[in-house]
Structure 1
Amino acid sequence: MYGEDRPLKIAIFTETFLPKIDGIVSILCLMLQRFQELGHQAILFGPPGGPPEYAGTEVVGVGGPRFPFYPELRINIPRRRVWQRVSQFQPDLIHVVNPFFLGPFGLSYARRLQVPTLASFHTDVARYARYYGAGILAPLLWRYMRTLHNQADVNLCPSTAVRQELRRHGFRRVRWWKRGIDTDRFCPGPRDPAMRARLTDGHPDDFLVINVGRHSPEKGLKELRDHLFPQPGLRLALIGGGPSHEQLKEHFRGTPTVFPGYLKGDKLVAAYRAADAFLFPSTTETFGLVALEAMACRVPVIAARSGGVVDTVVDGINGLFFDPDQPEQMGVLVRRLRENPDYREQLAENGLAHARSRSWRATMDQLVEYYRKAIRVFRQEQMRTRIRPTLHGQPAG
């Protein structure tokens, strides 16, 4: 039934997708592109408002109200037509991405169809809850996520730090799905004077620090103001958007900080290339894809020593860490890069070499191997289930 080399049919249930822009969506887009290259067939069920198709994959929007304490996410509840479409598609495997609202339906459909499941963990929802005044719910959220993930034949996570945490919380069958980026797109190149002027607010000779990502409480962006300023000749660009965007603009009022909004494609690459340093204060990242993108554009990274980014940055070699409990170190490290341009160049060059070693195609090929592993695990469990009644029915010796 499941040839090891034949193309697969994969049904994907994801809580987030285009037009939203974040690390999870970036990974999903690369994943679908690689499936198309390899000849695998996929169908994606996600939130409404996305494109009808991406990289040859049909995209089916599933509606629902917005999540109360995190309005960028929806409580997506599928109707009967989703089950009909899944059963028509006849997948070899169902992949639930960050199962929370929509993912449980994917797990349920897999049981009805008797096909394997793979679940991938991307967002530390329990930790996020503390930033939205719902920290008391963290134990309940961990229990809920553990219950969902432990129904899957294989669970994937994006970093060794997250793997350790999930196992500590009782998640089973957890494997490390490595991360990579498109280094054909994210690569060094000449600075665009217009982008440099835009991000420095017309002061291109100043030292430019950037951050790229979602503007939300768990990202720790408010910390930047008091630890970077006042440093004369320093500029900050916070690229992105999200629920805290307007509050951040008010918080940074009176500082040399610009908010260019979300940048995509060539504009995002130009923004990385325009920077002198990339600062990543978040302590909640399960991986931190943007740090790798910055490295690929030959920009030195300063990051909090926390979460998934510890698999990317080697302190003092290809980037710099600061202690999350001592955020004042951010300003010290920025000043160090400003005063030591040769050291900055060394970190940038080593970061570039590391990023080039993380091929996105290799990471997606690893995912396909995990799919095949999930299929093997499922088949083995089916065989054990068939054998048990026979054994139990035998008379005792």
Structure 2
Amino acid sequence: MRVAIVTESFLPQVNGVTNTVRQVVEHLGRMGHEVLVVAPGPGPAEHQGVPVVRVRSVGLPGYRSFPIGLPDPAVERAVAGFRPDVVHLASPIVLGAVGLRVARKLDVPTVAVYQTDVAGFARHYGLRADIPTARWVGRIHRRATRTLVPSRSSFAQLEAMGVPDVHLWRRGVSLDLFDPGRRSEELRASWSGHGVAGSEVVVGYVGRLAAEKQVRRLRDLAGLPGVRLVAVGDGPERGWLERHVPGARFTGMLGGEALATAFASLDVFVHTGVAETFCQTVQEAQASGVPVVAPAAGGPLDLVAHGRTGMLYDPRDPAALRGAVRHLVGDPDLRARLASAALADVAERSWGNVVGQLVEEHYRQVLGSGSAPAAA
């Protein structure tokens, strides 16, 4: 099968869209499929032998390091020249809209993957474009042959927009990378105070330090007795956090084995954002054997069974995050039970299984579905 992937983000950017596309590209290649990637630049022109066509981009206002792809004739030239069987639209907004138009012109079926709450993103950056952005995203997905969503909350969101043929397609997790065996007591001790293992419970956030992740909620954990807060990642909110969360440790951006070791060396993982369509870092923490505290909103509702595989807190209650973390900090037996149950839950969520489902249940079905939906 020949698959053209038009994505709003790809390496060297590090985010959920990039990670998902990278995994799809790598596993499609291992399965023997031919793949082309079209992505905003600058960046590498190939990934593990797969060509990556780079198109024009501009930096997002307020977050200049995040490139937004622009309409570019190179998209049509690349996709038409590749002659795909199916066009995969990864979190389509601007570049994805161009990819959709090209696919419809070529009469090629499209699978559009909803992954980013763009309207929520716009609100967090004060762009005042959330309503027209939501309408635009809905229009793209209504015109795609099939839409895949990562969670029940996203399913309901797109159904409310009138999007037809919506299917649940969750994310995989790299079980060979994220593993409890990567825990480093030396690293944990370096975080937990005075170099003495066990002197403090290490509570960590992993992800972009950015407004859309609502990381300022981490200030709620400042001064919590017996807790050392660690922030793994980087972004425009780092300076604010360093000023307002005294005593927190900041590792900067980590990747690969260093990231997996940091995950496994935490005692508790916390997430702060309520606009997550999935929340991959929750799965990675669970695969690392770390108990999770996450908001009872969006993607985490599908990943965390409260009291069994983690703890959910009410993001509308200003005291809820601190209360949930305090409870876990004081109960090591509960931490162990939550971590064990979550680890068992993620054991079958390998990327190989997830990409296999993408091919067999979605690509192959749209190939036999006939023409694309009418304009909407």
TM-score by length of 2: 0.93
Change in 2 beyond 3 A, CA 1:48/1:212: same
Amino acid across the alignment from 1:168: A
Q: CA deviation at 1:197?
A: 4.0
Q: Does 1:17 align with 2:45?
A: no
Q: CA deviation at 1:185?
A: 1.2
Which residue number corresponds to residue 216 of structure 1?
A: 210
Equivalences for 1:103-142 in 2 at 5 Å? 103-134=96-127, 136-142=128-134
- Give the distance between the partners of 1:201 and 1:126, measured in 2 at CA: 41
Residue number among 60, 73, 76 corresponding to 2:66 in the alignment: 73
* 1:153 equivalenced with 2:150 (yes/no): no
The verdict on how the C-alpha distance between 1:378 and 1:125 changes in structure 2, with shifts beyond 3 A counting, is: same
1:13–1:44 Cα contact (<8 Å) kept:
yes
Give 1:47 shift: 1.6
Alignment of 1:170 onto 2:162: yes
What's the counterpart of residue 293 of structure 2? 302
**CA spacing shift, 1:380–1:43, aligned 2, 3 Å:** closer
Q: Secondary structure at the match of 1:378?
A: coil
2:53/2:78 contact within 8 Å kept: no
Structure 1: unaligned runs, 5 residues or longer: 1-7, 383-397
Q: Return the offset for 1:123.
A: 0.5
SS in 1 for 2:249: strand
Note the alpha carbon deviations across 1:32-62, whole angstroms, 9 max, x for none: 1110111111100112132222233111111
Change (3 A) 1:173 1:132: same
Q: Using the alignment, how far apart are the partners of 1:147 and 1:70 within structure 2?
A: 26
Correspondence for 1:86: 79
1:112 positional shift: 2.3
Identity among equivalent positions (%) equals 35
Name the structure 2 match of 1:43.
36
Task: Report deviation, 1:361.
Answer: 1.4
Say whether residues 1:99 and 2:110 are aligned partners.
no
The answer to whether structure 1 residue 28 and structure 2 residue 21 are counterparts is yes
Q: Match for 1:332 among 308, 317, 323? A: 323
Count of aligned residue pairs for this structure pair: 371
Q: Summarize deviations over 1:206-244 as a string: whole Å, max 9, x none.
A: 11001111111121211121x223223211111111222
Q: C-alpha offsets along residues 18-39 of structure 1, whole Å, 9 cap, x if unaligned?
A: 1111122111111111101111
RMSD of the alignment, in Å? 1.8
Look up the equivalent residue of 1:322 and give its one-letter code.
Answer: Y
Residue 311 of structure 2 corresponds to 320
Distance 1:82 1:322 in 2: 43
Q: Aligned partners of 2:281, 2:262: CA distance in 1, in Å?
A: 12
Contact 1:153-1:378 within 8 A present in 2 as well: no
Structure 1 residue 362 and structure 2 residue 353: aligned? yes
Query: How far 1:336 moved relative to its partner?
Result: 1.6
User: Does the 8 Å CA contact 1:72/1:243 hold for their aligned counterparts?
Assistant: no
Deviation at 1:280, TM superposition (A): 0.7
SS at match of 1:303: strand
Asked if residue 237 in structure 1 is aligned to residue 230 in structure 2, the reply is yes
Larger C-alpha radius of gyration, 1 or 2? 1
Task: Letter of the 2:312 partner, please give it.
Answer: F
Retained in 2: the 8 A contact 1:129–1:138? yes
Q: Cα distance 1:229–1:244, how it changes in 2: closer, same or farther (>3 A)?
A: closer
1:201 is displaced (CA, Å) by 5.9
Structure 1 window deviating more from structure 2 (306-315 vs 194-203): it is 194-203
Deviation at 1:326, TM superposition (A): 1.1
Q: In 2 relative to 1, CA 101–331 (structure 1 residues): closer, same or farther, beyond 3 Å? A: same
Deviation track 1:77-104 (CA, whole Å, cap 9, x = no partner) reads 3544443222221111111111111111
Opposite residue 25 of structure 2, the aligned amino acid is L
**Aligned residue in 1 for 2:187:** 195
Could you tell me which of 310, 330, 333 is aligned with 1:342? 333
CA contact (8 A) 1:200 1:258 kept: no
Taking a change above 3 Å as real, the CA distance of residues 380 and 25 of structure 1, as seen in their structure-2 partners, is closer
Give the direction of change, closer, same or farther, for the CA distance of 1:17–1:381 in structure 2 (3 Å limit): closer
Instruction: Tell me, in whole angstroms, the C-alpha distance in 2 between the residues paired with 1:170 and 1:280.
Output: 30
Query: Shift of the alpha carbon at 1:199?
Result: 3.6
Whole-angstrom distance in 2 between the partners of 1:78 and 1:142: 19
User: CA contact under 8 A between 1:49 and 1:61: conserved in structure 2?
Assistant: yes
1:246 corresponds to which of 239, 245, 258: 239
Asked if structure 1 preserves the Cα contact closer than 8 Å seen for 2:109 and 2:372, the reply is: no
* Shift in CA distance, 381/282, structure 1 to aligned 2, threshold 3 Å: closer
* CA distance 1:75–1:271, shift in 2 (3 Å): closer
SS at match of 2:282: helix
Give, in angstroms, the shift of residue 334 of structure 1: 1.7
What displacement does 1:132 show?
1.6
Q: Kindly provide the amino acid, as one letter, of the partner of residue 202 in structure 2.
A: L
Scaled by the length of structure 1, what TM-score is found? Answer: 0.89
* Range that drifts further, 282-291 or 191-200: 191-200
Query: CA offset at residue 63 of structure 1?
Result: 1.9
Are the counterparts in 1 of residues 313 and 320 from structure 2 also a CA contact under 8 Å? Answer: yes
CA separation in 1, counterparts of 2:110 and 2:321?
42
